[in-house]
Amino acid sequence: MQTKTLIAGLASGVVTFLLGWLVFGILLMDYYNAHSFHYTGIMKDPPVIWAIALGNLSWGMMIAYILSLAGVKSAAKGFTTGFVVFLLAIAGFDFLFYGTVKLYGLRITSIDILLNALMGGVSGAIAALVLGKK
């Protein structure tokens, strides 16, 4: 993997981490709590931040790698590609969870997919901008 791809993945991962913290940890935390099924001991309190950060860096590296392979270097194309990749990935995870685990209802599952796809678009745009720099 090229250095530029690694930098793009790091930038993308940091953006995804910060957006996740803002959207899910602050703005919509109460909404998710109100629309989730609650089980004693299922949520870690406090959450394991290093694991969340590592997961977001993995998302960032994945999108940067895909964009690098595809030769994407514009923010618009990066947004579109990131949106579609995250939409498909998160839809896969969330619908499998919805079908097997009683954690979220269908409404919050659908909202989660859309929000993550939008975050993926922003993440892809950032990665593409880094990849497009000379």
Q: What is the pLDDT of residues 110-126, one digit of tens each?
A: 999 999 999 999 999 99
Reported as a single tens digit per residue, the pLDDT across 23-50 is 999 999 999 989 888 888 888 889 999 9
Total domains present in the chain? 1
- Quote the pTM value: 0.91
Q: What confidence tier does 6 reach under pLDDT thresholds 50, 70, 90? A: very high
The DSSP line for the chain is --HHHHHHHHHHHHHHHHHHHHIIIIISHHHHHHTB---TT-S-SS--HHHHHHHHHHHHHHHHHHHHHHT--SHHHHHHHHHHHHHHHHHHHHHHHHHH-SSB-HHHHHHHHHHHHHHHHHHHHHHHHHHH--
Q: Which domain holds residue 126?
A: 3-132
